[in-house]
Copies of this chain bind each other. A is one copy, B any other.
Amino acid sequence: VSPQKSGHRYHPDKPCKRLVLYFHDILFNGTNKANATSAGAAGPTQLGAYQFGLLAVFDDPMTTAPTLASPPVARAQGFYFYDMKSTYNAWFAYTLVFNSTEHKGTVTILGADMMDEKTRDLSVAGGTGDFFMARGVATFATDEVQGFDYFRLKMDIKLYECYN
């Protein structure tokens, strides 16, 4: 009658798969169509001074090296929005789309991006293809911010349920 799964040992330090990738976001400002990878589709509102309600849709490159010019190994497709009155803070939902010789499939991630924390954990809610039925945790760390033009997040994606 225990609701706990029997026979499971998910040690946070022992994922069955791990991907460490960099997420690069270049917000559309009206003049950078060639380079922009995201665009504000709604908001911001006038609630506070931290872009509350600005919702950005993105199709961002994911790379294994931190430099923007390094070859993408996946696309991150989804959205984030800012959601605090008192500081910059965001919420993300997106899918990593892999289509290379190394990986084919998707990983879908969502959760709060508490930007003031050095690292913060979001949830891996599912996966397909090579990541069929995956679950886990994605740890975000801000790696670089250049005003509203560019930001880079390090995403340490640890899967604890793997079927492939």
Contacts and interface: CB of A to CB of B under 8 A. Distances in A.
Interface of A: 1-12, 14-16, 28, 30, 33, 36, 39-48, 52-55, 57-59, 77-79, 81-85, 89, 91, 93-95, 97, 105-106, 108, 110-112, 114, 121-129, 132-133, 135-137, 160-163
Chain copies in the assembled complex: 3
8 contacts: A8-B163, A42-B43, A52-B57, A57-B83, A77-B84, A91-B94, A97-B112, A123-B125
A78 B16 CA distance: 29
B3 A160 contact: yes
Nearest to A82: B57
A30 B59 contact: no
A128 B53 CA distance: 24
Contacts of A42: 41-43, 55
The 10 closest A-B pairs by CB, nearest first: A123-B126, A41-B53, A121-B128, A42-B42, A41-B43, A39-B45, A95-B112, A3-B16, A39-B47, A125-B125
